[in-house]
Structure 1
Amino acid sequence: MQLRSWKIGLGGISVAALVIFFASRGHRESEPEIAPRAESSEPTSLALSPSEARRAQFVGSASCTLCHEEQAKAYTSSHHALALAVPERAEVDARFDGSSFTTKHGGATQFLQEEGSPRVSGPGADGSASSFAVPYVSGVWPLKQYVVDAGRGKLQSFGVAWDERAETQDGKRWFHLYGPEGIAPGDRLFFTAPAQNWNHMCADCHSMFVERRYDVDADRFDTKWSELSVGCEACHGPGAEHVKSARDNPGKAPVAFAVSLQRSEPWVRAESGSPSPHKQDGVEVNTCAPCHSLREPIQEAFFAHEAFLDFFSPELLTPPHYHGDGQVRGEVYEWGSFLQSRMYQAGVRCSDCHEPHSGKTRAEGNSLCVSCHDAERFDAPQHSHHQGKNAPACIDCHMPPATFMQVDERRDHSIRIPRPDLSVSFGTPNACNGCHTKESATWARDRALSFYPGLRARKQATEALLLHAQGAVEAPKALRALALDEGSPEIVRATALERLGRYPSEKTTQTFRQVLGRGRPLLTYGAVLGAAQLPLTERAQLLLPILKRAERASRVAIGKALASVPLARLPKDERRALEEAFHEVEEAFHVSSSRAETHVERSAFELARGRFDEARRALEIALRIEPCLTEAYLNLAELERQRKNEAASGAALHEALKCNPSSASAAHALGLWQVRNGQGTAALESLEKAVRAAPNDARFGYVYAVALSGQGKRQEAIRVLEGVLKEHPNDQSALGALMGLLPDKTTPRAEEARARLAALRD
């Protein structure tokens, strides 16, 4: 597992299993080893809790085998079936044989056995020699990652993994997931750190119906799951009623599952020779999305048939996870990419290319693509302009690979046409230069245009996002047009709406109002994220009316955005709806309560509500989990500022810099504190340090310029603002400040700033 934005997504969904497989691999109601619970003197309740009642609806994949033997056979060796397993005896003997692996920063790790059970020995959290049991192995190919027991119910993803590839591919070896130098104890990426915690980061997509059950006060997990790996009910939903009806009524069709994953009509090739489009009902993609997307959980223990946006807040096409045009950059899995594709718009779904039980593609090579696309037209040299045995496959050009975890090559599921012309204009990658690495993007563009003269005229929906990333003055207009373009993919439009919040204007507000009135879940979510960046009054006017009908992801985002709204001033219905949203925000925080970042975010939420004690408690927990988390100290400083305790506020900022001397955010915050406390010279030093540490942060530059101006250093302030605008030509704060500082408002420089600012506010 690699550290992500702490939105989470892991691969794994499945459908059936053999009895013999589950007898050897795991059992229902599995849980990590933890200390025995203390006996209670309270009377035992015979009633099931809500989570226990939901769990009781699962029967386990072994129950499916008698009637679904063919599917079970395909499933047994799938990646889903092996998402989490107990290490095999032969595997333990072959690898945990006393061998060792050493990295520069992580030291030496030895792979041992103790009474036949695998263990790893090496530096622990504090760097001292430690030994850990290895109860589970995750994945099957191209790597296997081992899961260690760190005590108190905590399972951790070990940093040294096994390369399952062939020796001819440099496989069959131990390697470190973060490269040959490894990770040092104390680093946020070291295997004992919260970022590598299996229970929170990985479990709900490598096991089934997972409840993390983290106890904040005890710093302990009591994680439970309905099935060790990812079984049939992960996709089909709970099977108790289905199995009972089959047993009670032999020979009759059993009760169907809540949602059918069968397509109602087959794909057929239209008279034009192209496949006929299908209406995308979204059921299958909704089923796969929880584990094939980068997302943040907002409720515990999802069912397969439940709405994705009621359980998760997904990452849109935002950097650094995606390139500016939506191509894969980070470990984002498939959902966000696939929703951009023309295939998805035409009704293609996951199982059209992947057999759902084995997980394998339905055909090899180009044969898979020409099952829909005309082979004579597309699987031919005149289309690819490459010939011979080294000619690229369809996926090499349209689904270029990216490698994660050192050896895991994954394809970009946005399935796009290579655009080297956009690489020249915007610096985005293209598949041509992925192979022709010694050539320039200009060379690739010229070659592509010679093959396909109409390429440049072909509009790509994400070009508006690229204009925003480039700081083009026409970005707001382009984003508004994209947001309302019914012909563009919804995830691209949702991303445009989120970006649009950076350009407050009446037209921006009107765009949000139009989208929010239509009630389309993903677009609503994007519009909420965008509107959350507007001033509070506008924010509330846009978001309060949709609270009752929005999906939970949007309600949680609205609750966070409107935390500072005075409840007493709202009409009764709106007050009740917002209070319910606040409760859902708190539930979302609870799901991720093992993460220090969660408590930092909670502190900001509580501070906005004026709940100082709750905010302080959240920060205390954050710093207990991660004692040197800069963001926690910054929020603590803000809390003390609001409580009029400037001495404590400054102490928190100095502590932040002691933990992380290179932190731009901490230096910037300290500079502001020094301004407030009359330390002008020191403030300029701190604010300049922040700019040097984060030269691309427009706000840091703007604030530094304002501080310079305040101390009579006008020319220096102008120079800083011009530097900001060189990198961020559309920053409205910097443009406004520059216009105010220029002594002659009629110069071309002042006129340009005025015109640009007017265009941005149009």
Structure 2
Amino acid sequence: MRNWLILVVAVALAALVALSNRPEEDATLAPATSSTPARVTKTAPPRGRETFVGSAACADCHRAQSDAYRSSHHARALVAPGAEGTAPFDESPFTSTFGGTTKFSSRGGAPVVTTPAPDGKSATYPVRYVAGVAPLQQLVVETERGKLQSLGVAWDTRPAADGGSHWFHVYGPKGVAPADSLFFTGSSQSWNHICADCHSTWVERRYDVASDSFDTRWAELAVGCEGCHGPGAEHVRTAKEGKPEPFSARLTRAEPWKPSATGSPTPRAQDEREVETCAPCHSRRLPLKEGFVASDAFLDSFEPDLLRPGRYHADGQVEGEVFEWGSFQQSRMHGAGVRCSDCHEPHSGKTLAQGNALCVRCHESSRFDTQQHSHHAGARAPQCVDCHMPKATFMQVHERRDHSIRIPRPDHSVAFGTPNACNGCHDGKPAAWAREALAKWNPASPARPHFVDALASDRQGSLEAPRRLRQLANDVAFPAIARATALERLGSYPSENTLRALRAALSSSDSLVVYGAVRGAALLPPPQRAQLLAPALQHEVRAVRVAAGKALAGAALTLLPASARAALERAFAEVQQSFAVSASRPETHVEQSAFELARGRLQEAEGALSRALRLDPCSLQAHLNLAELNRQRGHEAQSEREIRAALGCDERSAAAWHALGLWQVRAKQSRAALASLQKAVELSPTDPRFSYVLAVALAGGGDRSRAMRVLEAALKHRPNDASTLQALASYSREAGHSEREAELRKQLQQLQE
């Protein structure tokens, strides 16, 4: 019995620390070797509020642009309540299941909101700002210690005839429970941290950890000219002298597109400066430093979300609220050199033409704006965007189009369950019907290769996943964001082939590809990580250096060449800087604790976890990481207390039951341990880690038959999990099931090929 207890503990310890996943934040978070590109030192643009002059200073010399800007959503991204066109404060109430009744009124001429606080009692909060223009406006209220929070109840600005002109909850009629981080006082509704820098210009969060308070400042209330062009003080000063200095972010309009003989424009080289100017506020990303200004490289200030489940479907279509950048990166338009301003007037933000007229500016109307192309006649004919940029609705009323600008692929819907534009309209028909219709319309057009084959095979746990991911990663014809996603996932399938693919990608000239490769290499054993990632510590963009620093936190210095050790310390400093900019988030401190724990700095790890629990007393990851920290110190009673606290916060947490089972193993409570480990599997049957540990415990206790059943069930959810395959093969051999063992060994070999 003692042997299986030791084994169960050993195989699960690393998994406990892995519970401290990277924090998932809202998209609008922002702060103010020879084979790898060397770190580049650039002249830094001027920074600080004194270098900003405000949009009004631009109007004298740039009248046309200023007039267009004043009508834009950027100019009204954040305004004072009571401004023209903002929500009314007329005592009208709104009631939701969790949120109770909210009233909007005035006190002494100042707008206020009376709404249930986290304790359930009504409280009144001053409304400081109104965010957004249409189709909804959210209120920004002040709660305590300088905290500005986004209220979940918003104003629908659409006309009453279109279903608008009323208050509603952005998370649906029920609202959210007070314990949820999405409740208006929760960390996920922090205006200071999550929203401010994309609704104002050059935001300084000014968060103080000790007092949990904000003193947030900005250069301009809304998104002004300098939000996209950079600080303008020097430009204005020199313009008055007759020799204007250019802005740090010098953006130029491209030559207009002209359709070629094929009916589509000839591709041009992509100038990423413009796309990267828009990316910080039109992407889902995490901040890496404070003080971002236009002209900073996107990946030098942020780490972007790749094509992850919950954010994107396997084919890259929008699933969660990811805004536009990640979608546009996938598009053939981006690959052909299209920029944002090819479709949008940059100062007003409006499209350059309405309806199909926008698309035929580049695509020959006689070929594409026809019934022959759309196969829909007259009034039934959809617009180009209906088929190629289908809409998704967020916050109940905000329709946004998918900027991956794709050809509908109902064949992918049949194979992988992804959505398609055809069935978006013809929702009463099966995807196979749409697939057959498109095949009939275009019998001579072969389907283009697509990265969905690789990403879907990984999500489905296919044995083909490693090979397909490598093929995607190595094929420069596919979008960089898809290749980066494949490389990130490849680390889950360690093999010589994986090492070769990651090594090749780490020398790519595309920083996004390198970033994905670093994140993939982070999943490998420390010796392999150190060998691969030492050069990445000196990469030109911060996102790569920070990812490499995090990955190498647990690697012994002796594994690194002496020349890389100074670079590692610099990367560690940048990692800490990335934690500091998001220090108001409990998830940040959880991640910091894992980083410190990997470095063997137990006291610093404990401090980070204490900060996380002050911000969120029910942070499951914080409780479980603190339990692991106490285990390492030999404080088993404190370890149990933290695990029980996690279960008190969420009794349906599979991770907490798993941790309790491991603690019970160490406490030699064998029967209770098996029950807890079983509970974890029942709550999360798709996580092979939980099933594997339960199976090891069962087999170690003499119940090999049941252990094999647990592993067989796990394989149904994740057929390519190497640990599950290896354990089941071993137990099959012991049970004399030679044919099953051979089959499993063959599958293991397939993962290596």
Question: What TM bracket, shorter-length normalisation?
Answer: over 0.9
Counterpart position of 1:323: 313
Name the amino acid aligned to 1:231: G
CA apart distance, 1:592: 0.3
| Native 8 Å contact 2:29 2:193 kept in 1 | no
SS in 1 for 2:515: helix
The one-letter code of the counterpart of 2:664 is: Q
3-state SS in 2 of match to 1:120:
strand
SS across alignment from 1:498: helix
Pairing 1:527–2:517 present:
yes
1:364-422 CA distances to partner (integer Å, 9 max, x unpaired)? 11111111112122111111111121221111111111100000000110011111111
Which residue in 2 is equivalent to 1:583?
573
Match among 228, 241, 248 for residue 241 of structure 2: 248
Q: Residue 637 of structure 1: which of 606, 627, 630 is its match?
A: 627
1:464 Cα offset (Å):
1.3
User: Using the alignment, how far apart are the partners of 1:348 and 1:110 within structure 2?
Assistant: 47
Structure 2: how far apart are the matches of 1:618 and 1:390? 59
1:752 to 738, 743, 747: 743
In 1: Cα distance, 2:271 partner to 2:447 partner = 32
Residue aligned with 2:361, SS: coil
Match of 2:382 among 380, 383, 392: 392
- Cα distance 1:667–1:550, how it changes in 2: closer, same or farther (>3 A)? farther
Report SS of the residue matched to 2:101.
strand
Q: Name the amino acid aligned to 2:711.
A: L
Contact kept, 8 Å, 2:29 with 2:285, in 1: the verdict is: no
Cross-structure match for 1:87: 81
TM-score by length of 2: 0.93
**133-142 vs 180-189, which moves further:** 180-189
TM-aligned CA distance change 1:179 to 1:750, over 3 Å = same
2:5 aligned partner: none
Range that drifts further, 464-473 or 505-514: 464-473
- Answer yes or no: is the 8 Å Cα contact 2:306–2:481 preserved in 1: yes
Q: 2:123 matched to which residue of 1?
A: 130
Q: Whole-Å Cα distance in 2 between the matches of residues 744 and 11 of structure 1? A: 54
- 1:278-297 residue CA offsets vs partner (Å, 9 max, x unmatched): 10021101111100000000
> C-alpha separation between the residues in 2 aligned to 1:264 and 1:136?
37
Cross-structure match for 2:94: 101
CA distance in 1, matches of 2:492, 2:266: 40
Partner in structure 2 of residue 430 of structure 1: 420
Q: Which whole-Å deviations, capped at 9, do the CAs of 1:411-447 have from their partners, x for residues lacking one?
A: 1100111111111111111111111111111222122
Q: Matches of residues 20-35 of structure 1 in structure 2 within 5 Å? A: none
Amino acid at match of 1:314: P
**Superposed counterparts of 1:214-233, under 5 Å:** 214-233=207-226
Is 2:45–2:248's contact at 8 Å kept on the other side of the alignment?
A: no
2:190 corresponds to: 197
**Which sits farther off after the overlay, 638-647 or 585-594?**
638-647
Structure 1 contact 691–701 (Cα < 8 Å) conserved: yes
SS at match of 2:283: coil
1:421/1:456 contact within 8 Å kept = no
What does residue range 69-468 of structure 1 map to in structure 2 within 5 Å? 69-88=63-82, 95-249=88-242, 254-263=244-253, 265-454=255-444, 457-468=447-458
Query: Residue 675 of structure 1 corresponds to which residue in structure 2?
Result: 665
Runs of 4+ with deviation above 6 angstroms: none
Percent identity over the alignment is 57
- Which SS does the other structure have where 1:209 is aligned? strand
Q: CA deviation at 1:77?
A: 2.1
Instruction: State the shift of 1:185 in Å.
Output: 2.1
- Retained in 1: the 8 A contact 2:80–2:128? yes
**2:477 counterpart residue number:** 487
- Give the Cα separation in 1 of the matches to 2:314 and 2:119: 40
- What residue ranges of structure 1 are gaps of 5+ in the alignment? 13-28, 30-49
Spell out, residue by residue over 1:625-684, the C-alpha distance to the aligned partner (whole angstroms, 9 max, x if none).
Answer: 001111100000010011111111111101110111111110111111111221111111
- 8 A Cα contact 2:54 2:225, kept in partner: yes
Question: 2 CA distance for matches of 1:166 and 1:323?
Answer: 33
SS at match of 2:337: coil
Alignment correspondent of 1:7: 25
Deviation of the 1:745 alpha carbon: 6.0
Deviations 1:309-344 (A, max 9, x none): 111010001111111111100000000000000000
Partners of 2:253 and 2:529 in 1: CA distance? 41
AA aligned to 2:209 is V
Amino acid of the structure 2 residue aligned with 1:511: A
Paired letter, 2:142: D
8 Å Cα contact 2:470-2:486 kept in structure 1? yes
Greater RCO (Cα-Cα under 8 Å, separation 6 or more):
2
- 1:662/1:693 contact within 8 Å kept: yes
Calculate the TM-score normalised by the size of structure 1. 0.92
- Counterparts of 2:559 and 2:28, CA distance in 1: 43
Q: Residue 304 and residue 182 in structure 1: after superposition, are their counterparts in 2 closer, same or farther (change >3 A)?
A: same
Q: Is the 8 A contact 2:480 2:510 kept in 1?
A: no
Counterpart-to-counterpart distance in 1, 2:471 and 2:47: 48
Moved more, 61-70 or 444-453: 444-453
Q: Where does 1:672-711 land on structure 2 (aligned, <5 Å)? A: 672-711=662-701
In structure 2, the CA distance between the partners of 1:5 and 1:642, relative to structure 1 (3 Å rule), is: closer
Q: Kindly report the root-mean-square deviation, in angstroms, between the aligned alpha carbons of the 2 structures.
A: 1.9
